[in-house]
A and B are shown apart, each in its own frame.
Chain A
Amino acid sequence: DQQVKQNSPSLSVQEGRISILNCDYTNSMFDYFLWYKKYPAEGPTFLISISSIKDKNEDGRFTVFLNKSAKHLSLHIVPSQPGDSAVYFCAACNTDKLIFGTGTRLQVFP
């Protein structure tokens, strides 16, 4: 049973526009959420995180929103750049377990 779900396997966005990646979770005990970015043949790298006591966290072009009542988080990238093309994973933490979603492949085209 997938506790963290990313229902869009892929997303294509024009350079300069906003990219919105979505993530849903089922376990209300998750108290920390993270986004990772992965390029081919590399390990995932940390992008941004948010605690369950917050509903928004910004870092430059990246903003993560958390809606606890809907068990939903999203990552906004503004403006999108070609170098943002990668697979994005959301992850949720419950005690010491970090559970990942299935990933969304973002392609930013010129």
Chain B
Amino acid sequence: NAGVTQTPKFQVLKTGQSMTLQCAQDMNHEYMSWYRQDPGMGLRLIHYSVGAGITDQGEVPNGYNVSRSTTEDFPLRLLSAAPSQTSVYFCASSTQGNTEAFFGQGTRLTVV
């Protein structure tokens, strides 16, 4: 029972570097989303997708890109990392936007 799998679990980047955070789910969920968690800010929605080929912006999309070529995968790309992107990132999936979402274990990203 894999559920939602995020890789890597930890990552340190230098300012200006790019990277992709991977997210995969095996529950055949149509809806997937990315959040970042920062102290005192809760979980903020970065981008979300309601199905393969469809993505949309959340509350804090700047500096991030997403694509959804398959139902299973929803990678998050940081184009040019900045210290302000230091955070814990969570990927989630659900059957619909207003149903129980299943979260991955998170990726702790530090940008120096």
Contacts and interface: CB of A to CB of B under 8 A. Distances in A.
B77 interface: no
Indicate the member of B41, B58, B98 with the most A CB atoms within 10 Å. B98
A57 to B, nearest CB: 13
Nearest to A51: B98
A101 B42 contact: yes
Contact of B100 (A9, A46, A99, A100): A46
Given A6-B42, A96-B31, A100-B44, A46 B101 contact: yes
Name the prevailing secondary structure of the B interface residues: strand
Contacts of A9: 40
Interface residues of B, number: 27
B58 A97 contact: yes
B96 to A, nearest CB: 8
A34 B97 CA distance: 11
Interface of B: 4, 31, 33, 35, 40-45, 48, 50, 56, 58-59, 90, 92, 96-98, 100-106
Interface of A: 4, 6, 9, 31-32, 34, 41-46, 49, 89, 91, 93, 95-103
15 contacts: A4-B42, A43-B4, A43-B103, A43-B105, A46-B100, A96-B31, A96-B50, A96-B96, A96-B98, A98-B48, A98-B98, A98-B101, A100-B35, A100-B42, A100-B44
